[in-house]
Amino acid sequence: MDITIALRFLGSVLLAVLWCDATFRSGDAAVSSGDLRKIHEVNKMGPYLGIVVPNMFEMNPLLQPGRFVSDPTTPTLDIMGRRFRIGKVGDQKVIIVMTGLSMLNAGVATELLLTLFNVEGIVHYGIAGNANPELQIGDVAIPEYWAHSGLWNWQRYGFGPNDPLALESNGDYTREIGYLRFANYSTPSSDNLLNNVWYQPEEVFPVGGSPEVRQHIFKVPVDSHYLDVAKTVEKDGVILARCATPSNCLPREPVVATVEMGVSGSVFVDNKAYGEFLNGEFNATAIDMESAAVALVCYQQKVPFIAIRALSDLAGGGSALSNEAEAFAPLAAANAVLVLVQFVAALASSS
């Protein structure tokens, strides 16, 4: 045996060993080999537009007849505790996934969707609190940027804006974005042991960057082409629901509005002072619990992203009696879907 034949022989033995090992172990992986085969079949029919939605009550209006049509061969795939719904919205092939509440769920579901499926872009939609006094409940906001407003460095009592934060000097934390001073909200005292929380950018590891070398981002932009399409939807208008019940109608017809900012965090905001702070500090319109997580995953995977959030309440700024979402969440969820369907059609005809 000369050396090349010996090497080739060794190579094929190695390949066989690796192949057996992979086949043998695939049954043990989080996604079974049977599911991987089904995913492969679904992907052959792609690419798809990914639709990511937080909760069932926001997804249901989309599943109604005439809006979403399930794929006749593979209507759903259940993988790792998530259901992926395959089908069409209008002529656009889509895969819908429900995330569940808040940032971790939203990030995990989005990453799974992008990792497993042939997805060329993501549209996220749902309801949100409103911090923008120029908009009303029922309006549908499409922000240009999303920021995670729940990543904080909580400063020790006695320290202030001129004191470095813990671990600031090695670049872990920053004072560049801004902070919330709890004592500004004291009634009547003017100081507070909770001191300051400083808003922090997320550490990100984008595709094409150096693995393990962090970058930072706070305001994550949506895709510029998707935003242009959203502006045409805003300009053309969408007929939206105005009345939660025959006797409970909004002051004017709801509108679609592209706005500057949305913020998300793992906190349900039903607090007027904090809503006003988020609007004053970051120009936030929509306040929710998922969009920035979806944005951050798409940003790192370099996949186009936009979020459509219908305003269901005033984040604590309205009635003193209760959060308006109790009355207006179904109307807002319905309006979000009306705009989503319009957006998907406009996007499909724009390319």
> Which range, of 63-71, 147-155, 173-181, 333-341, touches ligand NAG by CB under 6 A?
173-181
Residue 293 Cβ vs ligand NAG, minimum distance, rounded to whole Å: 21
- Residue 307's closest CA among 349, 262, 341, 350? 262
Closest residue to ligand NAG using C-beta atoms = 259
Residue 291 binds to ligand NAG (criterion: CB under 6 A): no
Judged by CB under 6 A, the residue of 260, 273, 319, 350 near ligand NAG is 260
Residue 277 Cβ vs ligand NAG, minimum distance, rounded to whole Å: 7
Judged by CB under 6 A, the residue of 89, 122, 147, 259 near ligand NAG is 259
What is the rounded CA–CA span in Å between residue 57 and residue 42? 26
Residue 328 Cβ vs ligand NAG, minimum distance, rounded to whole Å: 20
Site string for ligand NAG, 106-145 (x = CB under 6 A): --------------------------x-------------
Question: Per-residue DSSP letters for 19-46?
Answer: HHHHHHHHTTSSS-HHHHHHHHHHHHT-
Contact call for residues 277 and 254 (beta carbons, < 8 A): no
Compute the Cα dihedral for 313, 103, 50, 65 and give only its sign: negative
Residue for token pair 């908009």: 135
What is the rounded CA–CA span in Å between residue 259 and residue 281? 15
Question: Which two tokens mark 178?
Answer: 């801004």
> Which range, of 25-33, 174-182, 293-301, 329-337, touches ligand NAG by CB under 6 A?
174-182
Question: Which two tokens mark 108?
Answer: 């995990």
Residue 163 binds to ligand NAG (criterion: CB under 6 A): no
Residue 179 binds to ligand NAG (criterion: CB under 6 A): yes
- Residue 304's closest CA among 246, 249, 251, 351? 351
- CA distances 269 to 15, 40, 170, Å, are 55, 41, 32
The type of residue at 97 is V
Judged by CB under 6 A, the residue of 130, 285, 323, 342 near ligand NAG is 285
> Which range, of 23-31, 33-41, 180-188, 334-342, touches ligand NAG by CB under 6 A?
180-188
Judged by CB under 6 A, the residue of 12, 23, 32, 184 near ligand NAG is 184
- Specify the residue, 76 or 174, whose C-beta has the smaller distance to ligand NAG: 174
Contact call for residues 259 and 286 (beta carbons, < 8 A): yes
Please give the residue ranges that form the binding site for ligand NAG (CB under 6 A): 132, 179-181, 184, 259-260, 283, 285
